[in-house]
């Protein structure tokens, strides 16, 4: 049986970018096939009654600090997108 790691992502989330910087190497080390599974985060948030980080000031502050910590730990560049959040539905359908 082949090992598979499914990566559900929407690049509107900066955490998807951070995860994608690490997952290929993790999958290789585990001998697993990495399967990219795009999904529409906005739709999931709406269906679950969740709110975006920008609509909750405390969550937005935490998220900014957390993203800075993870990018330092992984040693990858990160700058916030001035268009955040954006609608990625069309890109995900492509």
Whether 13 is catalytic is yes
> In whole angstroms, what is the distance from residue 60 CA to residue 32 CA?
34
- Of residues 90, 94, 76, 88, the one with CA closest to residue 11: 88
Residue 14 in contact with residue 80, Cβ under 8 Å? yes
**Whether residue 8 has a cis bond before it, omega within 30° of 0:** no
- Catalytic residues, which ones? 13
């Amino acid at each position: 049986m082949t090992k598979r790691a499914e990566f559900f992502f929407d690049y509107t989330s900066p955490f998807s970018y951070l995860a994608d910087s690490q997952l290929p190497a993790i999958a290789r080390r585990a001998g697993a096939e990495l399967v990219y599974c795009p999904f529409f985060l906005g739709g999931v948030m709406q269906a679950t009654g969740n709110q975006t980080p920008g609509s909750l000031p405390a969550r937005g502050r935490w998220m900014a600090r957390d993203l800075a910590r993870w990018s330092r730990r992984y040693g990858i560049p990160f700058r916030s997108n001035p268009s955040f959040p954006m609608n990625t539905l069309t890109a995900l359908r492509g």
